Copies of this chain bind each other. A is one copy, B any other.
Amino acid sequence: MIVVMKRDAGEKEIAAVVARVEEAGMKPHLSRGVERTIIGVLGDVATKPILREAVERMPGVAEVVPISKPYKLSSREFQQEATIIRVGPVTIGGGELVVMAGPCAVESEEQVMATAQAVKAAGATILRGGAYKPSTSPYNFRGLGEEGLKILALARKKTGLLLITEVMAPHHVEVVARYADILQIGTRNMQNFSLLDEVGKLKKPVLLKRGMSATVQEWLLAAEYVLSQGNRQLMLCERGIRTFETYTRNTMDISAIPIIKKESHLPIIADPSHGTGKWDLVTPLALAAVVAGADGLLIEVHPNPQQALKDGAQSLNFENFQALMARLTAVAAAVGMKVAAPLPK
């Protein structure tokens, strides 16, 4: 970090900062300019977060500027080669484009089975569906719980599709992990640290959605929770951020995709269903995410969006999902990606 002293800072104040830095075991470097003095503090400041705040409050200090990134295990500097996650026969992050599709919420065996067969036929390899559902209002549908997980497992058995499903509370991690191939952490839980700690102890892949008002840096720090517990099978998911625009439910931040590719070695998935909140924007944004570098897509599909218990407005019906998959193949090819091959039943 760089400590910028005020113009009128005296020698005593400069010496106090130098002493505080040395007390923390770091080495200060002074640069004395005509107008002011700056003090460089090089080394592993990331592990001494308190130092920065302490120095910021010291007399004579104008500003403290961090220079190292606060995340480590998730950074490209730490690991040059891309993380490739294997889920059964599918690889995520290694050049294949993986499509995860299915209903927002598991409503019934019939609904899940029909959707699973349709998305498999259209080329998806992973089935999504929520058994535990976050809901802004307590009066809305909150999911079928373990019953829903069983329905998903049945669909897996019948279709060969792999399963991704959300876990919302630390005490549900065990049961969800028993059924799911990938555990999803939703946007509202990106900073649910107990939950992150818990999935960090698993040996199963985790998908971490970006918080709806999280910066890229905060998102990577949340990833750090999972990674530092030992679980390196982590992928990230851009799902739109909150802005002033009200036309869409969120503003899909497509730039986050190449940013994650640059800053991190973790795979990045795009969720244009939540990213836009409108079914007729899903396909253009899905294509945009792919050419921007996404390793996979998370798409809401429902047999009858009008009757959906949740998020019907952003779900594709089977026909629209097939149309998306057709366009996807051509667009992926144009950027050297290949849609993951269908799984055997």
Contacts and interface: CB of A to CB of B under 8 A. Distances in A.
B213 A138 contact: no
A161 interface: no
Interface string A210-225: 0011011110011011
Interface of A: 2, 4, 7, 20, 27, 29, 31-36, 38, 40, 42-44, 46-47, 49-50, 53-58, 62-63, 65, 67-68, 70-71, 77, 134-142, 168-171, 188-189, 191-194, 212-213, 215-218, 221-222, 224-225, 228, 241-248, 251-255, 257-259, 262, 275-276, 279-281, 284-285, 287-293, 305-313, 327, 330-331, 333-335
Contact of A248 (B218, B255, B284, B287): B255
Name A's interface SS: mixed
Contacts of A216: 245, 247
A137 B221 contact: yes
A50 B293 CA distance: 32
Contact of A27 (B33, B279, B289, B292): B33
Nearest to A46: B139
Give the 4 A-B residue pairs with the shortest CB-CB distance, closest first. Answer: A33-B42, A213-B213, A29-B31, A288-B288
User: Chain copies in the assembly?
Assistant: 4
Contacts of A253: 243, 245, 251-252
A243 B251 contact: yes
Contacts of A251: 241, 243, 251, 253, 255
A38 B35 CA distance: 18
Contacts of A284: 254-255, 257-258, 291-293
B46 A35 contact: no
Contact of A189 (B71, B192, B308): B192
Contact of A246 (B42, B246, B248): B246
Contacts of A40: 2, 31, 33, 38, 40
B137 A70 contact: yes
